[in-house]
Structures are given as structure tokens and as C-alpha cells.
């Protein structure tokens, strides 16, 4: 994309990609709410990686990761255009995720990463996993 389009178009396209309150994230919060689970906070800026959902008392940090952006082992498909640019960006996301996991775990947090495809295909599975941890 960086070689294909002028900077202003690329910036506009990238700015439309949500980093928080994504559909899978909002869906998971609704499922938790319907199960009576309401003691969570969202996008905690005090924690590494700003987890999507946080249960402070139980020290559980939950991330809902997009299959493309975080290189899902099941659903990831390499980009067809500007491969070098995108693969570098995606690999840096994967490395950052590992570092964030290590930081949180070393501070005593349980880190749960839920793939976007899980929320699309089996949302109850994700909710059940969280409820067991609680």
C-alpha cells in the first residue's frame, strides 16, 4: 500500500481501521454482560498493550486479536500487494504481542488472547473460557 497510493489516501484508509470497540470486541462484551459479568473495564491505559477487557481484581487481561493484523495461525492469509510492507507491520504486531504477554504475566496477570474468528464462529466458547477463569 505504501508504494501504491499517495500518503493522504493511505492515511485516510488506515485511519478508518478501528483499534478499539471493534465488532468482535463489542460482541464479546455483550455476551459477558448477558451472563451477568459486569465487573470489567475496557482499554486500560495503565497496562501494557491496553487490553480490550480487564478484570482488575482477578488480574485477567483479555485481547481480541484480528486474524490479519496479529497473524492468526489458522486464518491468516498473506497480503497479495505490497507484501514486504504488510508482512513487516504484521510481524512487528506479533512481536509486540509476545512482549506485552510477557510483561503482564511477569506482573502476575493472566493473559487471554481471543481470535477474531472465534468470535465469528464460536463466541460462546470464548465466553465460557472467560467465565471459567472468573
Q: Per residue in 24-73, pLDDT tens?
A: 999 999 999 999 998 999 999 999 999 999 999 999 999 999 998 899 98
Residue 55 in any domain: the answer is: yes
Residues spanned by the domain of 76 = 20-133
Residue 14 in any domain: the answer is: no
Residue 106 in any domain: the answer is: yes
Tally of domains within the chain? 1
Residue 9 in any domain: the answer is: no
The CATH number linked to 122 is 3.40.960.10
pTM value?
0.84
The string of DSSP codes covering the chain is -TTTS-HHHHHHHHHTS-SSS-HHHHHHHHHHHHTT----EES-TTSTT--SEEETTTTEEEEEE-TTTTT-TTT----SSSHHHHHHHHHHHHHHHHHHHHHHHHTT-EEEEEEHHHHHH-HHHHHHHHHHH-
Amino acid at each position: 500500500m505504501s508504494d501504491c497510493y499517495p500518503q493522504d489516501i493511505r492515511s485516510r484508509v488506515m485511519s478508518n481501521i478501528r483499534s478499539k470497540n471493534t465488532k468482535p470486541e463489542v460482541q464479546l462484551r455483550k455476551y459477558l454482560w448477558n451472563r451477568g459479568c459486569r465487573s470489567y473495564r475496557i482499554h486500560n491505559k495503565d497496562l501494557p498493550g491496553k487490553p480490550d477487557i480487564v478484570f482488575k481484581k482477578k488480574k485477567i487481561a483479555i485481547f481480541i486479536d484480528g486474524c490479519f493484523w496479529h497473524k492468526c495461525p489458522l486464518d491468516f492469509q498473506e497480503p497479495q500487494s505490497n507484501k514486504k510492507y504488510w508482512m513487516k507491520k504484521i510481524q512487528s504486531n506479533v512481536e509486540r504481542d509476545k512482549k506485552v504477554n510477557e510483561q503482564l504475566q511477569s506482573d502476575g496477570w493472566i493473559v487471554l488472547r481471543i481470535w477474531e474468528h472465534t468470535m465469528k464462529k464460536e463466541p460462546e466458547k470464548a465466553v465460557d473460557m472467560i467465565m471459567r477463569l472468573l
